[in-house]
Structure 1
Amino acid sequence: MSWGRWWRTVRSLPPEQLLARVWFRLYRPRPNLASPPPPRPVRGRWVAPPPAEPSLVGPTTFRFHGVEGELDVVGWDGPQRTRLWRYHQHYFEDLLADGAAARRPWHEALLRRWVADNPPGRGAGWEPYPTSRRIVHWIAWALGGGELPAEAVASLAVQARWLERRLERHLRANHLWANAVALVFAGAFFLGPEADRWLARGLALLMRELGRQILPDGAHYERSPMYQAQVLRDLLDLENLAGAYPDVGAWAHARTTWRARLPAMRRFLLGLTHPDGEIAFFNDAAFGVVAPPAQLEAYAERLGLGAAPPLEPGLLHWPEAGYVRLSDAGAVALLDCAPVGPDEQPGHAHADTLSFELSISGRRFVVNGGTSTYEVGPERRWQRGTAAHSTVIVDGEDSSEVWASFRVGRRARPFGFAATPLDRGGWRVVCAHDGYRHRPGAPVHRRAWIWRPGELRVEDVVAPARPAEARFLLHPAWRLEGTPQEGVASTDGARVRWRVERGHARLESAHYHPRFGATEPTTCLAVALANGQAIVRFLWDAPCTSSS
């Protein structure tokens, strides 16, 4: 154990968060098995949310992250499956998945079995986060026409009481947010003083976390497009819930507050979406965990929230989040000039400062490596590390000290951001970071992106000069020809040329992780900096524009 690394990890945590961690470990409440309150009458309309991907492939056979498990063989707990697989097993997402109506008999039997097999307070299924997600999914299923067995209704009340006393104040971030959402769902679903307490407590916590976790520019403070989508989905579900229970007086202030924040949140998510309709891979991010942005937008419109305005071409900057979008008719570049995450919870951070992704003709070309696992081990360590991202690595070390599954010690801090317009609609974006300040000479990495129609020039400087390498991970769909110093990539009629104008290039095998449990072979263009400098130019055919 490195005590220095531990100190660098915990020194940014507020004292009350450290105390909450101690309390969470020591305090073990007893489950309250009292009879449930009566259900609240539904006097409004529940709108169908975006469907999840099916995960129940047989009456008791689950498939998560490409791995199947038969309940009688793998059970509900144990080392036969990863912790994340177990979490999803307890979420009951398949209740809301494509084709769920045809699996209703399976669902009803599985609900009864879950209650019978999972005694209150025991096992992974009763940890606060899966409890929160399950409460929401069970209630959403009931509002959508499913009939919860009596034992499941009774269990819902036990789960809400348990969750109320196991809030994840020690973790904060998306976990505490999910706890608040679940309490609101439980408080709306049931009727009576106990339910009113859950509702009031959930709404109060939600309003506090909305102010803390959602930045003024609409970004969720963990700066993961995947969790941005999840938090946005949660607020849309709450808007849906308020429509189903319009006679609940407690909604008024909270609903006004979250409605005021939704437009900026939607815009930020769309801004970090590629032309293929899927999210960018900054920090922990993968496809298939949350509905794609277009489905969330359609959901918002079904809820009466209107269509989001289209994104303007050129430069869009989210200053509090630290991300930039450059776009024209032929290409989109997404730039990471952001902190790795909030000091109180950077658990989903990657060492990806000053990385970027680039789409050409609607197809991803330069990418970050993505996320396929949360399990402790070399693969998780690699996927969070700097070398798995399209940025510069110095002295073979990560720009932020990522370790274990969700820990970060020393953190890169971006500074010196500037965006300058150029002729012909071009832009020059510059930013630096101090993630290598602990190395000899305290080197600083500074990157400039020069964007013009049909061209992106990337200039990297490490000063004072140290052994460093600019890495450009290329999407596996592209075929490469030429030499490492100058070549052509092509796919489905699209072509991109690269030219290394300063630095010594090589092409090496790499991996791309678009989903949990998925790994695809690909190629990385790696450019060793020459005297602390590298220049790489990407060129493509810009669409013709007419003037009048």
Structure 2
Amino acid sequence: MRRRIGQAVLLWHTVRHLKPVQIGGRAWFRLHRPKPDLAPAPALRDRAGPWVRPAGRQPSQLGPDRFCFLNQEGDLGGGWDDGRRDKLWRYNLHYFDDLNADSAQDRVAWHQSLIRRWVADNPPGVGTGWEPYPTSLRIVNWIKWTLAGNRLPPEAVQSLAVQARWLSRRLEHHLLGNHLFANAKALVFAGSFFTGDEPARWLSRAATILKREIPEQILDDGGHFELSTMYHALALEDALDLENLWRAYPDSRRLTAGIDGLVAARIAPMRRWLTAMCHPDGEIAFFNDSAFGVAPPPAALDAYASRLGLDPIGPGKAGLLRDSGYARLEAGPSVVLADVARVGPDYLPGHAHADTLSFELSVGWQRVLVNSGTSVYAAGPERLRQRGTAAHNTVVIAGENSSEIWSAFRVARRARPFDLSIEDDGSTTVLACSHDGYTRLARGAVHRRTLILQPGGLTVEDVLAGGADPAEARFHFHPSWDVAVDGAHGRAVSDRGQVVAWVIEAGTASIQAGTHHPEFGISLPSACLVVGLEAGRSLVRFTWSSVSSSSGSI
């Protein structure tokens, strides 16, 4: 009975934040099964402008029917819907990302054959490949491939029209967020690729969605509202793709009711946000669902923007990204990226982790302290562990999570940050913030963290107010560091010979084994410094010698 009550409480604190369209839309989506429209495809629109090469990804097609997705190799021996594969792997199989990956021109024959095989093996409306999200990405990838100078076979052109019609009747209003944006983007691509009354209706429907979603999803500081660095990079790719498309089809631009202006105005803020949330090594920090290898690397997105003739953005600037709730601190060779944000939109926290007040640290070009990353989406203990507070550089109280993450993409009660302050006198930056995520516990407390960054060190102070449950601050080292502790003192030595030392002025220290997940399907051993709070307080001072900001070496 107690378990049932607990599950009911979790469910209530999850669904009470949802929008009515998500609840009603879910029922409609499950019950409404439109019949695929197999009418002949509309005529193709004449391209009147240039198309530049989009952002590339690592190749994923290894042979005519062999692939590597999420660092797992497989083939089509079990078909397009092989139940032995995780759903995310099967989704990737239907995306056709390799059509526009690096050196795609070397695999054109494979691509042509695979497109024909997909059309033959996937009857309209049946199977994973016809779910709205993979349909959306596939529509875009097929069209981008043709704009690069390749020719879709006639049966694929017909299938593309059928897919667009199907998608227009299966929009993911029940999910909203990046899924609905991807749906609308695909309709813009299809409506631009074809011409006539029907494609004009696709463009009109997409414009209605984007007119509402762009101002909501792209915050004033440029961040994507789901607050994942990885999904922000994907959203930036979407914006650049749309700008590229409208230059190739300027007449379709006129049919989108000014949406092109909304997109264009947000590209520069989105690029600045991304540079601010990257480490000196040029790659994204790991907050919420984030990993390398899903979105194009920031450098590839920057090069894409350059090919479109957009102005350079420059390096990330220190300061507070107030609307999204992240901060970038800099001092000498060191960079701290700190999470003082909510877990995400109240009605859409599916990609959230319980990582409130976590941070990541780089010294020079080397990452030192890192959140653990993301390697799985499938529901289960490992997914819960990676989303949990203990997998991040923050404080755990009584072994609980600061936000009640559950299932694969659910969050019940959430931590709310408050009382944020940031001061910078030119040599020292002090960031302080509190959150209330643990006040739901019987003896829970408010957690307040203070970060003090100077050129040669970082001080981290954690204080609990109002509770007495046991608590620990966790500091996950990047796998490239060997870590040792001797009482209140410790040191870590990187594979480049760099040394970071620390002294614990309040709290008790131990080293625990951990794991790091820089990509889906990858788990690397790492070390975690665990500092037990004493009388509700811990204070750790990390120090390092001066390093070259360009090489990370002493």
Is 97-106 or 503-512 further displaced after alignment? 97-106
Is 513-522 or 145-154 further displaced after alignment? 145-154
Calculate the aligned-residue CA RMSD, in Å: 1.4
Q: Does 1:233 align with 2:241?
A: no
* Counterpart AA for 2:535: N
SS at match of 2:250: coil
Corresponding residue of 1:48: 53
- Separation in structure 1 between the aligned mates of residue 225 and residue 307 of structure 2, nearest angstrom: 27
Corresponding residue of 2:477: 474
- Separation in structure 2 between the aligned mates of residue 251 and residue 157 of structure 1, nearest angstrom: 19
Corresponding residue of 1:91: 95
Deviations, residues 433-474 of structure 1 (Å, cap 9, x unaligned): 111111124411110001112111000011223210100000
Q: 1:430 to 1:70 in 2, by over 3 A?
A: same
1:74 CA displacement = 2.1
How do 1:159-238 residues align onto structure 2 when only pairs under 5 Å count? 159-238=163-242
Corresponding residue of 2:300: 295
Out of 103, 120, 123, the residue aligned to residue 124 of structure 2 is 120
1:488 CA displacement = 1.9
Partners of 1:352 and 1:399 within 8 A in 2 = yes
Corresponding residue of 1:33: 38
1:26 CA displacement = 1.2
Partners of 2:228 and 2:290 within 8 A in 1 = yes
TM-score normalized by the length of structure 2: 0.96
Corresponding residue of 1:447: 449
- Separation in structure 1 between the aligned mates of residue 185 and residue 435 of structure 2, nearest angstrom: 36
Q: Does 1:517 align with 2:516?
A: no
Corresponding residue of 2:413: 410
Corresponding residue of 2:432: 430
Out of 377, 382, 385, the residue aligned to residue 380 of structure 2 is 377
Q: Percent identity of the aligned residues?
A: 54
Corresponding residue of 2:355: 352
Corresponding residue of 1:141: 145
Partners of 2:49 and 2:247 within 8 A in 1 = yes
Corresponding residue of 1:534: 538
Corresponding residue of 1:326: 329
Q: 1:544 to 1:170 in 2, by over 3 A?
A: closer
Q: 1:427 to 1:328 in 2, by over 3 A?
A: closer
Corresponding residue of 1:15: 20
TM-score normalized by the length of structure 1: 0.97
Q: Does 1:363 align with 2:381?
A: no
1:480 CA displacement = 2.4
Deviations, residues 7-48 of structure 1 (Å, cap 9, x unaligned): 111001122321111111111111111100011111111100
Is 380-389 or 194-203 further displaced after alignment? 194-203
1:253 CA displacement = 1.8
Partners of 1:485 and 1:506 within 8 A in 2 = no
Corresponding residue of 1:387: 390
- Separation in structure 2 between the aligned mates of residue 97 and residue 214 of structure 1, nearest angstrom: 26
Q: Unaligned 5+ residue runs, structure 1?
A: none
Deviations, residues 139-175 of structure 1 (Å, cap 9, x unaligned): 0000001111111110110110011011100000100
Q: Unaligned 5+ residue runs, structure 2?
A: 550-554
Partners of 1:173 and 1:345 within 8 A in 2 = yes
- Separation in structure 2 between the aligned mates of residue 372 and residue 529 of structure 1, nearest angstrom: 30
* Counterpart AA for 2:191: G
Q: Does 1:63 align with 2:65?
A: no
1:542 CA displacement = 3.7
SS at match of 1:425: coil
1:327 CA displacement = 1.2
Partners of 1:60 and 1:70 within 8 A in 2 = yes
- Separation in structure 2 between the aligned mates of residue 27 and residue 251 of structure 1, nearest angstrom: 28
1:251 CA displacement = 5.1
Partners of 2:479 and 2:527 within 8 A in 1 = yes
Q: 1:394 to 1:307 in 2, by over 3 A?
A: same
1:258 CA displacement = 1.4
Q: 1:517 to 1:544 in 2, by over 3 A?
A: closer
SS at match of 2:203: helix
Partners of 1:360 and 1:494 within 8 A in 2 = no
- Separation in structure 1 between the aligned mates of residue 259 and residue 384 of structure 2, nearest angstrom: 40
* Counterpart AA for 2:464: V
Aligned residue pairs total 541
- Separation in structure 1 between the aligned mates of residue 354 and residue 80 of structure 2, nearest angstrom: 34
Corresponding residue of 2:462: 460
- Separation in structure 1 between the aligned mates of residue 213 and residue 256 of structure 2, nearest angstrom: 16
1:270 CA displacement = 0.7
SS at match of 2:368: strand
- Separation in structure 2 between the aligned mates of residue 235 and residue 341 of structure 1, nearest angstrom: 21
Partners of 2:326 and 2:337 within 8 A in 1 = yes
- Separation in structure 2 between the aligned mates of residue 219 and residue 456 of structure 1, nearest angstrom: 26
SS at match of 2:293: coil
Out of 6, 24, 29, the residue aligned to residue 29 of structure 2 is 24
Corresponding residue of 2:267: 262
Partners of 1:9 and 1:407 within 8 A in 2 = yes
Partners of 2:172 and 2:179 within 8 A in 1 = yes
Partners of 2:333 and 2:548 within 8 A in 1 = no
Partners of 2:288 and 2:355 within 8 A in 1 = yes
Moved over 4 A (4+): none
Partners of 2:331 and 2:428 within 8 A in 1 = no
1:377 CA displacement = 0.8
- Separation in structure 2 between the aligned mates of residue 256 and residue 370 of structure 1, nearest angstrom: 35
1:110 CA displacement = 0.7
Partners of 1:215 and 1:221 within 8 A in 2 = yes
Partners of 1:74 and 1:81 within 8 A in 2 = no
1:484 CA displacement = 5.5
Partners of 1:220 and 1:228 within 8 A in 2 = yes
Partners of 2:277 and 2:316 within 8 A in 1 = no
